[in-house]
């Protein structure tokens, strides 16, 4: 047990986790997930929002087992390694709104940091703009962190509270398998488009569980990787990103999934300004909330109720983003997308300036 | 007498920032950092070790006490 803990706490360990995620993301694409979207936390939460009827974009509706697996895998790992701890109470409404705007930014770009990396490994040059935007957003977040920004302390709470998010995920799994059709039309499952493209449920679930376990152990975080380099010149987390890039790139080349270019890339647009701007917002919101969307899922699986609120904020944000024309599509940026990104950045900056401990 | 930094309940990366700030302020000596998650323990330990400080870890009930010395 001790040697497992030591391995996953090391650079070698997190590098191996990155390779695993990269290779299996490419394989998930090969086995049915959308192109350059083997794993995308934001897109997959958006698909879940669609399946539940929180938005009616018919091409992006599916309950993604990977998301369920991430939370439950993290729960399993936290229980095995005695790290499950129910805690809540650190600025929940702020975390909800950060999740909301993180999702809006990600859907203007069309992907979270995980997908930005995977898009790059699939040859999509537009991902460079997204990743540059994310680095810029995280750098702004680091400025606030250095200036004393804090969401305040959480506190330990009743054991059951930490189980709420895992139970919600079990509920999603039951809905996915039972697939009830209610008078309202829900559940909604896409018949065409990215939402209709998915690997078999059991395959997605098992890979999700495996990634949940590995990421909980190694603390894999795409935002934290950039933040730690900028903030304290620490290369530990970014070693995981390097692993992901290498794993996904090599696997994509081997499977014939690497197609370089900017134009006509799958589930992507090439408006450089808003690819960049959307991810500035997402990167900043993730930095202020303390973790990328994957890390928020893993934390919610180990009992962190505040991260669970962030996740719910992201799902709500997805509903709004599609209902209010903020989300982009391969045709381009949505009518209200740019305005929503600007509003989101202003919100984050106000939060960054106003929530400071005196230091 | 060691200076004490209480980072319980703070989310990543604040425990690291708080400890780092105290280390810069003091330059050398002993700092007691109290955290409540293994992630914070690992992050503070990694940063302090990199900065050339010794780290001793003790459990204090449900919390973790890190004694940093230089």
**Whole-complex ipTM:** 0.93
Domain with A74, as residue range(s), is 2-354
pLDDT in tens, A99-144: 999 999 999 999 999 999 999 999 999 999 999 999 999 999 999 9
Q: What is the pLDDT of residue A358?
A: 64
Name the CA dihedral angle for A258, A260, A261, A266, rounded to a multiple of 10 degrees. 0
With respect to residue A185, please indicate whether it lies within any of the assigned structural domains.
yes
Distance between CA atoms of A204 and A72, rounded to whole angstroms?
A: 13
Q: Which two tokens stand for residue A21?
A: 């995620």
- Asked whether residue B1 carries a pLDDT value surpassing 90, the answer given is no
With respect to residue A91, please indicate whether it lies within any of the assigned structural domains.
yes
Distance between CA atoms of A285 and A341, rounded to whole angstroms?
A: 11
Interface with B, mutate which of A149, A154, A162 (most B CBs under 10 A): A154
Mean pLDDT, residues A19-23 taken together: 98
The verdict on A291 touching B (C-beta cutoff 8 Å) is yes
Q: What is the pLDDT of residue A231?
A: 92
With respect to residue A217, please indicate whether it lies within any of the assigned structural domains.
yes
Q: Which residues of A touch B39 (CB under 8 A)?
A: 219
Query: Which domains, from first to last, does chain B contain?
Result: 3-69 (3.30.110.40)
Q: What is the pLDDT of residue A93?
A: 98
- Is residue A172 within 8 Å of A63, Cβ to Cβ? yes
Least Cα separation, residue A121 to chain B (angstroms): 28
pLDDT in tens, A160-183: 999 999 999 999 999 999 999 999
Residue B4: CA atoms inside 13 Å, Cβ hemisphere, count?
Answer: 7
Q: What is the pLDDT of residue A357?
A: 79
Whole-model pTM?
0.96
Q: What is the pLDDT of residue B2?
A: 82
- Is residue A217 within 8 Å of A301, Cβ to Cβ? no
Angle at alpha carbon of residue A70, lines to A106 and A2, rounded to 5°: 125
Number of other residues whose CB lies within 10 A of the CB of residue A64: 28
With respect to residue A70, please indicate whether it lies within any of the assigned structural domains.
yes
pLDDT in tens, A322-354: 999 999 999 999 999 999 999 999 999 999 999
- Asked whether residue A359 carries a pLDDT value surpassing 60, the answer given is no
B17:A231 CB<8 A? yes
With respect to residue A347, please indicate whether it lies within any of the assigned structural domains.
yes
**Which chain A residue lies closest to B49 (C-alpha atoms)?**
A234
Q: Number of folded domains in chain A?
A: 1
Number of other residues whose CB lies within 10 A of the CB of residue A261: 11
Of chain A, the percentage scoring pLDDT greater than 70 comes to 99
3-state secondary structure A32-76: CCCCCCCCCHHHHHHHHHHHCCCCCCCCCCCCCHHHHHHHHHHHH
pLDDT in tens, A38-87: 999 999 999 999 999 999 999 999 999 999 999 999 999 999 999 999 99
Q: Which residues of B touch A308 (CB under 8 A)?
A: none
The verdict on A30 touching B (C-beta cutoff 8 Å) is no
Is residue A335 classed exposed, middle or buried when 0-12, 13-18 and 19+ CB atoms within 10 A define those classes? Answer: exposed
With respect to residue A359, please indicate whether it lies within any of the assigned structural domains.
no
Q: Which residues of A touch B16 (CB under 8 A)?
A: 232
- Residues of B with a Cβ under 8 Å from any A Cβ are 8-14, 16-17, 20-21, 36-39, 42, 46-47, 50, 62
- Is residue A334 within 8 Å of A327, Cβ to Cβ? yes
pLDDT in tens, B50-60: 999 999 999 99
Structure-token match 């900028």, residue found: A230
- Asked whether residue A220 carries a pLDDT value surpassing 80, the answer given is yes
In a 3-state reduction of DSSP, which class is residue A131?
Answer: helix
B11:A151 CB<8 A? yes
Q: What is the pLDDT of residue A1?
A: 82
| Beta-carbon contacts below 8 Å between A and B | 46
Q: What is the pLDDT of residue A199?
A: 98
Mean pLDDT, residues A209-226 taken together: 97
Least Cα separation, residue B22 to chain A (angstroms): 11
Q: Which residues of B touch A151 (CB under 8 A)?
A: 11
**Which chain A residue lies closest to B37 (C-alpha atoms)?**
A83
**Which chain A residue lies closest to B41 (C-alpha atoms)?**
A9
With respect to residue A208, please indicate whether it lies within any of the assigned structural domains.
yes
Least Cα separation, residue B1 to chain A (angstroms): 22
Q: Which residues of A touch B24 (CB under 8 A)?
A: none
pLDDT in tens, A244-303: 999 999 999 999 999 999 999 999 999 999 999 999 999 999 999 999 999 999 999 999
């Amino acid at each position: 047990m001790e040697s497992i803990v030591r391995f996953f706490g090391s650079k070698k360990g997190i590098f191996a986790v990155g390779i695993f995620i990269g290779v299996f993301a490419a394989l998930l694409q090969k086995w049915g997930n959308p192109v350059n979207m083997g794993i995308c936390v934001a897109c997959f939460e958006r698909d879940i929002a669609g399946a539940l009827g929180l938005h009616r974009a018919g091409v992006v509706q599916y309950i993604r087992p990977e998301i369920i697996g991430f939370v439950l895998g993290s729960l399993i790992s936290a229980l095995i390694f005695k790290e499950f701890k129910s805690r809540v109470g650190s600025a929940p409404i702020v975390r909800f709104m950060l999740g909301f705007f993180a999702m809006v930014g990600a859907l203007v770009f069309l992907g979270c940091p995980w997908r930005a990396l995977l898009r790059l490994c699939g040859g999509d040059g537009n991902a460079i703009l997204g990743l540059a935007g994310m680095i810029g957003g995280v750098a702004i977040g680091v400025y606030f962190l250095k200036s004393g920004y804090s969401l305040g302390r959480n506190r330990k709470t009743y054991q059951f509270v930490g189980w709420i998010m895992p139970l919600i995920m079990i509920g999603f799994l039951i809905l996915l398998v039972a697939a009830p059709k209610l008078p309202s039309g829900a559940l909604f499952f896409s018949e065409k488009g990215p939402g209709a493209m998915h690997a078999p449920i059991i395959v997605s679930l098992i890979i999700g569980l495996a990634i949940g376990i590995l990421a909980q152990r190694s603390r894999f975080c795409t935002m934290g990787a950039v933040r730690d380099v900028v903030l304290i010149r620490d290369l530990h987390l970014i070693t995981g990103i390097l692993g992901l890039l290498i794993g996904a790139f090599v696997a994509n080349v081997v499977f014939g999934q690497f197609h370089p270019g900017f134009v006509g890339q799958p589930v992507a647009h090439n408006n450089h300004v808003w690819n960049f701007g959307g991810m500035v917002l997402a990167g900043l919101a993730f930095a202020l909330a303390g973790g990328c969307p994957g890390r928020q899922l893993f934390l919610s699986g180990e009992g962190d109720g505040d991260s669970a609120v962030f996740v719910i904020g992201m799902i709500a944000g997805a509903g709004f983003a599609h209902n209010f024309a903020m989300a982009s599509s391969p045709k381009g940026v949505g009518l209200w997308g740019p305005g929503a990104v600007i509003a989101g950045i202003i919100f984050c900056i106000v939060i960054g300036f106003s929530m400071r401990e005196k230091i | 007498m060691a200076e004490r930094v209480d980072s319980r309940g703070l989310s990543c990366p604040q425990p690291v920032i708080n400890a780092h700030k105290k280390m810069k302020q003091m330059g050398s000596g002993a700092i007691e950092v109290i955290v409540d998650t293994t992630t914070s323990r690992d992050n503070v330990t990694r940063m302090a070790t990199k900065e050339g400080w010794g780290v001793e870890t003790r459990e204090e009930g449900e919390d973790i006490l890190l004694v940093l010395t230089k």
